[in-house]
Amino acid sequence: MVRARKPGLPPPHEALRNRMTQLSEIYNQRILELSANIAGAQRLADADATATAHSKLCGSTVTVDLKVEGDRVEGFGQTVKACLLGQAAASVMGRNIVGTSARELREVGSAMRNMLKAGGPPPTGRWADLAVLQPVKDYKARHASTLLVFDAVEAALADAEAKQGVSAAAQASA
C-alpha cells in the first residue's frame, strides 16, 4: 500500500536534504577549526576563581579558572566537555580573554545571548570570530551549550570580585 503525501509537504528525501543543509550552516569548516584548537585548555593551579557551567539538556560542561588582577583577567584555563558549538565558543574565549576587563567580558556574553535569543548582531572587534555561531540562533536547543563558556566566565568573575571585595575590606580595616 502506498500512502499519499499531504499536499505542500516535500518528499522525505527533500526534507532530509533541507535538514542536512541547515546542519551544515551551523557545523561549518570554521566551527570545526575553532573546536580543534581550544586555547587555554589547561587548568590553573593558582586560580583566584573557578566556575563550572553545565547544560542539563545536552550534558555539556565547561569549567574555567581565572587569575584576576584588578578588573582584568591575567590568567585563564578551562576544561571543555561540550559539542562542537560549545568548543568553538570556548576556543574564541581562550584566545581573547587574557588582558580583558570584566566589563568587556560581560558585554561579550550579553551580545552573544542577544545574538542567539533575540537575533541581535554578533560581537565585533577581537571577538568577531563568534559571528560564526550566529546560525545557532535558529536552534534553541543548542543555545545553552554555545553559551556555557560565557556563563562560567561570568560566574568566576563574580566569585573573584567577591573575594577581592573581602580582601579590600580586610586590608582597609587592618
Q: Is residue 171 part of a domain?
A: no
Q: Is residue 119 part of a domain?
A: yes
Q: Is residue 50 part of a domain?
A: yes
Please tell me the total count of domains within the chain.
Answer: 1
Q: Is residue 4 part of a domain?
A: no
DSSP string spanning 84-132?
A: HHHHHHHHHHHHH-TT-BHHHHHHHHHHHHHHHHH--PPP-GGGGGGGG
Residue 89: name the closest of 23, 26, 147 by CA: 147
Question: Which residue range(s) make up the domain with 82?
Answer: 28-164
Please report, for the domain that includes residue 54, its CATH number. Answer: 3.90.1010.10
3-class SS at 134?
helix
What is the pLDDT tens value at each position of the chain, 174 positions in all? 555 555 665 565 554 444 444 556 777 899 999 999 898 889 999 999 999 999 998 889 999 999 999 999 999 999 999 999 999 999 999 999 999 999 999 999 999 999 999 999 999 999 999 999 999 999 999 999 999 999 999 999 999 999 988 554 444 444
The rounded distance, in Å, linking the Cα atoms of 112 and 104 is: 12
pTM across the whole model: 0.82
Residue with cell 583566584: 48
Q: Is residue 10 part of a domain?
A: no
Q: Is residue 17 part of a domain?
A: no
In the structure grid, which three cell numbers stand for residue 142, read together? 543548542
Q: Is residue 173 part of a domain?
A: no
Residue 104: name the closest of 62, 154, 31, 143 by CA: 154
